[in-house]
Amino acid sequence: MNLMSSQDYCESLREYNPSIYVRGAKVKNVVDEPQLAPGINAIGMTYDFARMAEHREYAIATQHTSGKSVNRFVHINRNTEDLLSKLEYVRALCQLTGCAMRYLTMDGLNALFQSTYRIDTALGTEYNSRLVEQMHRIQDNDLTVGIAMTDAKGDRSLRPSEQRKPDSHVHIVARRPDGIEISGVKAIVTAAPYVHELFVLPGRNLTREDKDFAVACQVPIDAQGLTIIARPAGRPGDVSAEFSSRFGQSTGVCVFENVFVPYDRVFMCGEWEHAEHLTKTYANHHRHTCIGARAGFGDLLIGASAMMIETNGLDMQAEPHLQESMVELIKTVESFYACGVSASVYGKTTEAGNIEPDAVYSNLGKLLLAHSIYDMHRLANSVSGGLIVTLPHPDEDHNPDTMDKLDTLMSASPDIPPQRRAAVARLIEDLTASQAGAWYSVISVHGGGSPAALKREIFRKYPVADKVELVERLIERGVHPDSAAKPVQPGQCCDTGCQPPEQTTLPKRERPE
């Protein structure tokens, strides 16, 4: 079992020489770049965590294709237990880091595992064995692979092949005997500056005309022709941000210019009919993961809100309105997490042999959290008071002219030192009312797909037609109050027997392919 430590992970990044820009300047070495440190710390935590005996039960998994023990974040899920362990693992890590990011590797691997199997079955290609080979390499070297799926897209009303600028979507520009060349822009890639490699995946359904946009492959982060223009991770260097100056997420725009990919790293090459399946499968795995991630963030809000109430000198047991707000917060977090649990329990084994979470529950959980993130912030803010955004800067904590004067402001509960009250207030500001706080809102809404995409998927997968049949059966048997018919057994309603109900056009629940 090769499990790197966070230190090993940092050292491994030094072996790459990517072309990265942050805030207008070229990054010499990502590991030494302070603007990226909170992101590297967060991914580093996924490495250290897996080496701790107390987390081993859910952080380590056995890879069925090799029998080796690997970090769960580079593993193919095989059963319900795997999905539940993944949720727990993601939640636990996001309690510590806000966003652990590395789970993207697992979501990409699981989607590609299914999708390559599907293409091979339909077309006789050998993508699945290529993927398994690459996956073993990733596992043996304990790598982190980011996901480059969301294209720049251009005019949203046009298909990729209709765009004024073809580079709006990443596509194949040359097919060579030894591989392909790809060009185009992927707009939002989490952790791009500090991953080892990227999975490039199609981000939508495609038509025959879009054939060249049907490309899935794996690219090292320092591939020639790849430029990453990234944002700082979290709030680096901001002393008032205890949390997000230590942990945060950078995202990068990835510009591919004739990047060469050898065939052993290509998993889709023009099979446009399979692009939608890959996109949707990835989305399903990832939305399930998002539920665990935001539950971890919710845990931070629940804990910080309870502490803020206490530091204000109040007892939430004795104050019904505070207790109600706390229950609302708990209800919100645990409701969407329960959808994640349901998605795991009702997950289905695919023909490829991995398990896919139930899509209705994973999409519902993601939709619930996307809608309720603002309520979570509101609840944490309402129980805390205005101090969270008005408390003077930490520099005053050591200013001899002001620190004593502020002591009165900060003294509330006699049992709680003013410094503790300040620390909790600043944490709540960081998580809900800072630039990083707003970032948690937007990632909850759009990360893993916009709410409209989630709703489409719920409607597509939900068995509405089954429910119609249910009611039709009730009516036929006279259960419905408007029915004149007396209860009858099937086939005995008339001389000729029952007629099967007419086919409805409403969507049937999809069976696993």
Ligand X SMILES: Cc1cc2nc3c(=O)[nH]c(=O)nc-3n(C[C@H](O)[C@H](O)[C@H](O)COP(=O)(O)OP(=O)(O)OC[C@H]3O[C@@H](n4cnc5c(N)ncnc54)[C@H](O)[C@@H]3O)c2cc1C
Task: Confirm if 312 and 413 have CB atoms less than 8 A apart.
Answer: yes
Look at the block and give the residue holding tokens 């029952």: 498
Percent composition of the chain: helix, strand, coil (DSSP 3-state, to 5): 55, 15, 35
The span from the CA of 472 to the CA of 504, in Å, is 11
Part of the chain binding ligand X (CB under 6 A), chosen from 36-44, 232-240, 448-456, 499-507: 448-456
The span from the CA of 139 to the CA of 2, in Å, is 8
Output Rg (C-alpha) for the chain, integer angstroms: 26
Among 59, 90, 188, 233, which residue sits at the site for ligand X (rule: CB under 6 A)? Answer: 188
Please report how close the Cβ of residue 176 comes to ligand X at its closest, in angstroms. 26
Please report how close the Cβ of residue 363 comes to ligand X at its closest, in angstroms. 13
Task: Confirm if 504 and 465 have CB atoms less than 8 A apart.
Answer: yes
* Sign of torsion over alpha carbons 207, 210, 215, 221: negative
Task: Confirm if 352 and 118 have CB atoms less than 8 A apart.
Answer: yes
Residues 393, 394, 397, CA angle at the centre, nearest 5°?
Answer: 115
Q: Based on CB atoms, which residue is closest to ligand X, 62 or 450?
A: 450
DSSP 221: T
Please report how close the Cβ of residue 32 comes to ligand X at its closest, in angstroms. 24
User: Does residue 444 touch ligand X according to CB under 6 A?
Assistant: no
Please report how close the Cβ of residue 77 comes to ligand X at its closest, in angstroms. 19
User: Does residue 42 touch ligand X according to CB under 6 A?
Assistant: no
The 89-108 site mask, x for binding ligand X (CB under 6 A), equals ---------------x----
Q: Based on CB atoms, which residue is closest to ligand X, 26 or 156?
A: 156
Question: How many residues are there in the chain?
Answer: 513
Please report how close the Cβ of residue 290 comes to ligand X at its closest, in angstroms. 10
The 113-152 site mask, x for binding ligand X (CB under 6 A), equals ----------------------------------xxxx--
User: Does residue 442 touch ligand X according to CB under 6 A?
Assistant: yes
Among 7, 141, 411, 450, which residue sits at the site for ligand X (rule: CB under 6 A)? Answer: 450
Site for ligand X in 189-208 (CB under 6 A): 189-190
Q: How many residues bind ligand X (CB under 6 A)?
A: 20
Please report how close the Cβ of residue 152 comes to ligand X at its closest, in angstroms. 8
SS3 of residue 17 by DSSP: coil
Among 87, 119, 214, 443, which residue sits at the site for ligand X (rule: CB under 6 A)? Answer: 443
Task: Confirm if 421 and 384 have CB atoms less than 8 A apart.
Answer: no
Written as six digits, the tokens of 353 are 């042999």
User: Does residue 454 touch ligand X according to CB under 6 A?
Assistant: no
The DSSP-derived string for 89-121 is HHHHHHHHHS---THHHHHHHHHHHHHHHHHHH
Look at the block and give the residue holding tokens 């036929």: 476
The span from the CA of 363 to the CA of 459, in Å, is 10
The 324-353 site mask, x for binding ligand X (CB under 6 A), equals ------------------------------
The 245-284 site mask, x for binding ligand X (CB under 6 A), equals ------x---------------------------------
User: Does residue 153 touch ligand X according to CB under 6 A?
Assistant: yes
The span from the CA of 208 to the CA of 214, in Å, is 10
Part of the chain binding ligand X (CB under 6 A), chosen from 64-72, 174-182, 184-192, 233-241: 184-192
Part of the chain binding ligand X (CB under 6 A), chosen from 208-216, 329-337, 418-426, 447-455: 447-455
As beta bridge partners, residue 184 has 256
Q: Based on CB atoms, which residue is closest to ligand X, 158 or 488?
A: 158
Say if strands 171-176 and 355-356 run parallel, antiparallel, or are unpaired. Answer: unpaired
Q: Write out the residues near ligand X by the rule CB under 6 A.
A: 104, 147-150, 153, 156-157, 188-190, 251, 442-443, 446-450, 452
